[in-house]
Amino acid sequence: MFNLATHRRILVLGGAASGKSVFAEKLILDHCREFGVTADYLATLPRELADGDLELAKKIAAHRCRRDQRWSLTEQAIKIAPLIREETERPLLVDCLTLWLNNLIYQGLDCQNYFTELGNGVKDSTRPLVLVSNELGLGLVPAEAESRRFRQLQGELNQIAAAACDRVILVIAGQPLVVK
């Protein structure tokens, strides 16, 4: 049911602390064991962007502790589509699109152009690929305009990623639910 050989492009959605990253890592590692390859991890929050934020630093450290020599790490805050398009059989985990969106907004970039580039990159990708993103649309409507804009853009981004992927999985309390 959850197999990168059958569904080469998978989007894993979930709320904060839902278990989505752990689930996505397992998908990748299962594929690595089956095909005897190592994995690529694309972190969209480079270390320097987390400097001074103790909570983010702890989260990054926890993610790193789960990874071993089977993973190579690339940190990229903005230009992720070229890495997604790389022609290789090494599976790629992109964690996470929510932080990537934050980076785009922080840099004042045109999100729609980057969303289109991402969607096309995912569609064109020949490598096994797992994208991780937060589902923000299930909660209350934020009171602040900037937060509402972020939530709206996150929903648009998730829809573009979902349309480009073969399978979409929602993780709730560590349990996967197939959406597509």
Active site residues: 63
Cα angle 59, 65, 67 (rounded to 5 degrees) comes to 110
Of 126, 163, 175, the closest CA to residue 2 belongs to 175
Nearest-angstrom CA–CA distance, 171 and 27: 13
Burial class (CB in 10 A: 0-12, 13-18, 19+), 46: middle
Strands 9-14 and 39-43: unpaired
104 token code pair: 């785009």
Alpha-carbon distance values, 5 to 10, 90, 92, 120 (Å): 11, 12, 13, 20
Strands 39-43 and 175-178: unpaired
